Structure 1
Amino acid sequence: MNTIQIKTPSPEQSLPLVKGALEMEKKLTRDSLAISEGRIASLVRQLGVTVEQVLGGVVARGEENEQDLLDLEGELELRRTLQDTLTHLEQLEVCR
């Protein structure tokens, strides 16, 4: 694992700030992930499809479902990005 450094004249004050900021970012990412999961579940239910069907491209598209499918595909991409971000955040370690 690589190391990055932060220069500060007062590490006693900066260390808790950095740790707090990372914890807040994890919380916000988890909350956003939960919201995205809820939207995905709602759209899947509304469309009567599964995520696997959408990702596999086997869902018939038409005027009546095109916008909802686009919304679902966007939420799936957002979820993937949020999961990647959370994984990265959870791997960060603040050292002294």
Structure 2
Amino acid sequence: MGKPAQPSVADRVIKVGLTDEMKINFSEELATIKSGTTIEFIVTNEGKIAHEFSIGNEAEQREHAEMMRRMPSMVHADGNTLTVEPGMTKFLT
């Protein structure tokens, strides 16, 4: 798990689609990412409700899910989490 970077230093670009069925569709298999690789995620909300995209290890994802259960209307714009409105695209590197 890394930290935010400038898009200009990205080694790879991965497109991400967020759906109202709570599925995340990736343009390629994430298991092929090697440690130290800088990724630019192009995240598009394909649904009709706001969705989030968050980068983190398993423990961080669980912690984030619990926080969202407590505060479901929270909007994110930190280095590793985005809130993406319906039909919009955001970038995370």
Both proteins in one fold, TM over 0.5: no
Bigger RCO (CA 8 Å, 6+ sep): 1
Query: More strand per residue: 1 or 2?
Result: 2
* TM-score (norm. length: structure 2): 0.24
* TM-score (norm. length: structure 1): 0.24
Query: More helix per residue: 1 or 2?
Result: 1
